[in-house]
Every structure is written in C-alpha cells, then in structure tokens.
Structure 1
C-alpha cells in the first residue's frame, strides 16, 4: 500500500530533506556524521511498520516517529556502536571473526610426512 506521504519520501534525495518534509529538528553535527546510518535505521523501522488502514496524516506521523527514533539512536550513540551497515557488523572488534575451514598449505603438500 502506498500513500502520498510515502511516495514523497521515496523521492527525497538528502537526509536534510527528510527532516524538512517531516518537520523534525536536527543538529547538523549529528547529521553530518551519521546521515546514512540514520536513514538506513529509519528504513529498518519503516519496514516493520504497518501502514494498512492509515490515512495520509497518520502515515506521515508514523514516518516522522520512525525518523525521530532513528535520529535519537545516533544522537545518543555512534555509527560504530550501532553498526547498522553490514561492513560494520562484520568488523566488530568485540566479536571474533568467523573462521572457515583452514588447511595449512604444508598439510596439502606433505600429507604423508606428518604421521
């Protein structure tokens, strides 16, 4: 289901436009550092939001709430702490890297000498 509000949001191209269209204040220094992270998180929140049966004003309020929630996540934290993007999740120093099956080259070249 689409709405004029969601259609308008889909046509926006900058983080500032999202904040302007949804009448949400923001700190430029937060947006400067985390703009893509905020929009990605907003998209994650929107993906779990049901707009079925809502009129356009309610859709706009829900979209505004998701942007505000995403913005708050990064106004009180950092992109590294939140790890929204896959590349940041995969390179988390707190989580040991996943290791595949590793076979040393020496074992392949000299399998019989290790008995």
Structure 2
C-alpha cells in the first residue's frame, strides 16, 4: 500500500490524477472544473470507509471509481449546483454586502 500512496505524491493536477487512474476525460470539462473535481474527490475519499484495509490493487480500483464519479459530477452538473466550495454553499452562491460596510472599507483604504 505504501507504493500506491507514494505514487500519489507525484500527482499535482486534476489531469495528472485522471491520467494516473486511466479515467477518460474531456479537457474542456477539466479546464473549467479542475479544482472542483479534486475537492469532490477528496470529499468522497474522506467519506469512504475501509480504504486502509484494502490491498493496493483494490485501493487503486476504489480510488479510480471515486475519481471518475467526481469527474462525472461536473460533466452532468455545474460548480454552482454541486456546491463543493464554501462560496457556493453560502446563500445559494450569492452574498450581500451592506453599503455601510463598503463605505467603511473605502474610508479605511484612503487612510
């Protein structure tokens, strides 16, 4: 299992992960959603029970399934709908700022 985990350390981009696990992908989808895909993959891994008990082959297969699932989430949906990051979770992706707080920050910036 240590060899499998060490091989992951060399991967840095969504494309690296997708290539490593042999998951076919559309570069246009990944270009727009790379951070969302990796974040969702991490979420799926954290939810998964029993990964540590698997041998390297079974672990590779399970990681591949979860990565493919993460990728497909963004083929079928959008980042705003999936709400992976906090900005999309808060108030349906919109946030309001009061006029008073804007005036206060502008005044502070002028000082």
The answer to whether TM tops 0.5 is yes
TM-score by length of 2: 0.76
Deviations along 1:41-84, whole A, 9 cap, x unmatched?
A: 00000111221321101010010000000011100000111110
Once the two structures are TM-superposed, the CA of residue 87 in structure 1 deviates from its matched residue by 1.5
Separation in 2 of the partners of 1:8 and 1:91?
39
CA RMSD of aligned residues (A): 2.0
Question: Which structure is larger by alpha-carbon Rg, 1 or 2?
Answer: 1
| Contiguous gaps of at least 5 residues in structure 1 | 98-115
User: C-alpha displacement at 1:31, in angstroms?
Assistant: 0.2
Q: Distance in 2 between matches of 1:92 and 1:10?
A: 34
Q: How many residues were matched structurally?
A: 95
Higher helix fraction (1 or 2): 2
Residues 1:55 and 2:40 are matched in the alignment: no
Q: Does 1:84 align with 2:84?
A: yes
Shift of 1:90: 1.1
In the superposition, the TM-score normalised over structure 1's length comes to 0.74
TM-aligned CA deviation for residue 33 of structure 1: 0.9
